[in-house]
Amino acid sequence: MKILIVEDSRSNLLVLTQYVERFGATVLPAENGETAVASFAAGRPDLVLLDVVLPDIDGFEVARRIRGMEHDGEWTPIIFLSSLGKDEDIEQGIMAGGDDYLHKPVSEVVLGAKVRAMGRLIQMRSSLVTLASKLDVANQELQRLSASDGLTGIANRRYFDEHIAREWRRARRNASSLALMMCDVDHFKLFNDTYGHQAGDDCLRRVAGAIATSLERGSDMAARYGGEEFSVVLSETTIGGALIVAEKIRHAVHALQIPHAASSLGRVTLSIGLAAAVPELNDPYATLIAAADRALYQAKHNGRDRVCRASTASAG
């Protein structure tokens, strides 16, 4: 433990230093306020023993400056040393940032008890800070898991619903276009029947990865909508821009070269429906989903492995 001792009397400083060193602590000595503030900044002690009456700035001002140097979450115990014993003096010390008060002349026994007590508080606080940090990490991981699809690792349906509602409101405020694509793995039931569910799961993971890696902007979001169906939300994107991304995704799935003997195309492919809209005041985002769903149905009806765009006015 490092202890900063601030005492203008050299004899008192020597005595306190001897006391503290017998506790096994390292001493940072200071004989005035300015030196104390500089020593605190340079040495970052674990505890401060601070005389109230100093030749330049008083101990209350030193305490205030020390508290001002501490960052969020930091705390260094400050014990004032003074012959002043009035209630208002103690109150002033606590208000300035002090944690305890010792009357001069300081008893070695009492000082030792105070230092040990503060040491326990420091340890307890350190443990709580560590625990809080671990809890924060755990909560972040829990939030990530609650937003992720367990099979594919991309966003899940719950997160999709929250995300598109948020982006729809943003697009309405900014009068910008929001694009949505609904993607469906062609003949996936036949794929499962032919190769088994384990192969089917691996197929979905690979398709999800191809979709996610095709998105270049941090604001773009891919989610597993349900079963073999995926969705992609593209903020500030027109139908033309979404078409480029959709074709990129379709070709990325082609490039996986996943065999599909039960499909006329001989490999796993993707049908994609596109819609985009600039939200009107009372339009629900469900209209965008419905438009993209209709476009997906059209893509499958027209032969699959293709991109179709919505033709309704509300789809942009």
Q: What is the pLDDT of residues 132-180, one digit of tens each?
A: 778 877 777 677 667 899 899 999 999 999 999 999 999 999 999 999 9
Report, as residue numbers or ranges, the catalytic residues.
Answer: 228
Domain count across the chain: 2
How far is it, in rounded angstroms, from Cα 305 to Cα 258? 14
> How confident is the model at residue 245, as a pLDDT?
96
φ, ψ for residue 314 (rounded to 5)?
A: -70, -15
Q: What is the pLDDT of residues 94-115, one digit of tens each?
A: 788 888 888 888 888 888 888 8
Give me the CATH number covering residue 282.
3.30.70.270
Residue 256's domain comprises 157-315
Reading the block at residue 103, the tokens are 């009357």
Contacts 24+ apart (CB under 8 A), 251-255: 252/210, 252/211, 252/213, 252/214, 253/207, 253/210, 253/211, 255/210
Q: Which amino acid is at 40?
A: F
Q: Residue range 108-130: average pLDDT?
A: 79
Please provide the average confidence, as pLDDT, over all residues in the chain. 89
Per the omega criterion (within 30 degrees of 0), is the bond before 77 cis?
no
- 313 has a pLDDT exceeding 50: no
Residue 148 lies in a domain: no
How far is it, in rounded angstroms, from Cα 168 to Cα 64? 49
Do 253 and 213 form a contact (C-beta atoms < 8 A)? Answer: no
> How confident is the model at residue 39, as a pLDDT?
92
* Residues in a beta bridge with 100: 79
How far is it, in rounded angstroms, from Cα 79 to Cα 116? 12
> How confident is the model at residue 255, as a pLDDT?
96
- 70 has a pLDDT exceeding 70: yes
Q: What is the pLDDT of residues 270-286, one digit of tens each?
A: 999 999 999 988 889 99
* Residue 212 sits in the same domain as residue 70: no
- 92 has a pLDDT exceeding 90: no
Residue 290 lies in a domain: yes
Do 75 and 28 form a contact (C-beta atoms < 8 A)? Answer: no
* Residue 180 sits in the same domain as residue 71: no
- 128 has a pLDDT exceeding 90: no
Asked which of 114, 130, 146 is the last residue of a domain, the reply is 130
* Residue 194 sits in the same domain as residue 126: no
* Residue 165 sits in the same domain as residue 298: yes
* Residue 217 sits in the same domain as residue 106: no
Do 65 and 37 form a contact (C-beta atoms < 8 A)? Answer: yes
Q: Which amino acid is at 206?
A: R
